């Protein structure tokens, strides 16, 4: 007769063998039956211990993780939306929204006019320490996304939101009514 596998060590042995050459197990009918019973119980225990998580639960957990990452990492800066500046009897209002979403600032010009010569500043943790980026024009109604790393100091140091604190955000721009209008937004964070 040909070779078969030992029920104890799974090595190939001759069918007529009474003892396994590799593991030394007795291959009589009773020993083999006991071993098969033990293996069957071990498989049942493994199957019971393996908890099968339904696909629906996996999908729900994935969706919760995605929403957590997207929405807890996003904060909204809600300053007063207008800042009035008086110029020779004329009041000029700048209507802006500044949102910090992860590592992007989203600046929205909510005015009915364009802003030109726009200087955007992140005001850092002490006076005179601001990080600046300059944009030639932000059109009326435009939403502009700018990476926080686009903001630099005069010495070239880039703003790092993980190691640096910000105290506010400032927009300095020219409008059709007045030049050099300043808009200061405090960092009152609200999580979406």
Helix (H, G, I), strand (E, B) or coil at 47: helix
d(CA 99, CA 115): 18
Contact assessment for residue 152 and residue 160, using Cβ atoms and an 8 Å cutoff: no
Contact assessment for residue 75 and residue 189, using Cβ atoms and an 8 Å cutoff: yes
Print the domain residue range for 150.
Answer: 75-191
Of 17, 38, 72, which residue constitutes the final position of a domain? 72
pTM beyond 0.85 = no
d(CA 164, CA 167): 10
Same domain, residue pair 117 and 146: yes
Measured between alpha carbons, how far is residue 70 from residues 101, 134, 150 in Å?
9, 28, 22
d(CA 17, CA 27): 7
Element holding 45 (H helix, E strand): helix 29-49
pLDDT in tens, 131-184: 889 999 999 999 998 988 898 888 888 888 777 777 778 888 888 887 766 666
Same domain, residue pair 65 and 134: no
CA terminus-to-terminus distance, the chain:
74
Same domain, residue pair 68 and 87: no
Same domain, residue pair 66 and 130: no
pLDDT in tens, 45-66: 776 666 566 777 778 888 887 7
pLDDT in tens, 115-146: 899 898 888 766 567 888 999 999 999 999 89
For residue 33, the Cα-to-chain-centroid distance in whole angstroms is: 56
């Amino acid at each position: 007769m040909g070779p078969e596998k030992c029920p104890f060590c799974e090595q190939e042995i001759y069918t007529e063998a009474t003892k396994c050459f590799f593991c030394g197990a007795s291959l009589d009918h009773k020993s083999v039956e006991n071993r098969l019973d033990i293996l069957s119980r071990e498989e049942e225990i493994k199957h019971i211990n393996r908890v099968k998580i339904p696909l629906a639960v996996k999908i729900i957990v994935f969706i919760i993780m995605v929403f957590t990452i997207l929405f807890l990492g996003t904060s909204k800066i809600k300053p007063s939306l207008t800042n009035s500046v008086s110029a020779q009897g004329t009041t000029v209002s700048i209507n802006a929204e500044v949102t910090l979403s992860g590592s992007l600032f989203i600046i929205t010009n909510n005015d009915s006019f364009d802003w030109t010569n726009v200087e955007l500043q992140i005001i850092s943790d002490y006076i005179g320490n601001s990080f600046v980026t300059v944009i030639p024009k932000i059109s009326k109604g435009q939403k502009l996304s700018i990476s926080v790393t686009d903001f630099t100091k005069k010495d070239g140091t880039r703003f790092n939101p993980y190691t640096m604190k910000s105290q506010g955000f400032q927009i300095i721009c020219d409008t059709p009514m007045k030049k050099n209008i300043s808009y200061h937004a405090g960092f009152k964070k609200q999580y979406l």
